[in-house]
Amino acid sequence: MPAVRRFGVSMSSDLLRAFDRLIKRKGYKNRSEAIRDIVRDLLVRNEWEESDQEVMGAVTLLYDHETGHVPETLTDLQHRQHDAIVCSTHVHMDQHNCLETIVVRGTSRVVRTIADQLLSTRGVKHGGLVSTSTGRTLP
Q: Return residues touching Ni ion (CB under 5 A).
A: 92, 98
Shortest approach of Ni ion to residue 90 CB, angstroms? 6
* Residue 31: C-alpha distances to residues 11, 25, 34, 115 (Å): 13, 12, 5, 35
**CA-closest candidate to residue 109, choices 38, 57, 71:** 57
Chain residue at closest Cβ approach to Ni ion: 98
Given the complex with Ni ion, which of 17 and 92 has the nearer CB atom? 92
Shortest approach of Ni ion to residue 46 CB, angstroms? 37
Neighbours of 30 (CB within 10 A): 9
Given the complex with Ni ion, which of 19 and 71 has the nearer CB atom? 71
Q: What is the DSSP string of 2-44?
A: PPP--------HHHHHHHHHHHHHTT-SSHHHHHHHHHHHHHH
Given the complex with Ni ion, which of 92 and 109 has the nearer CB atom? 92
Residue 86 identity: V
Given the complex with Ni ion, which of 34 and 98 has the nearer CB atom? 98
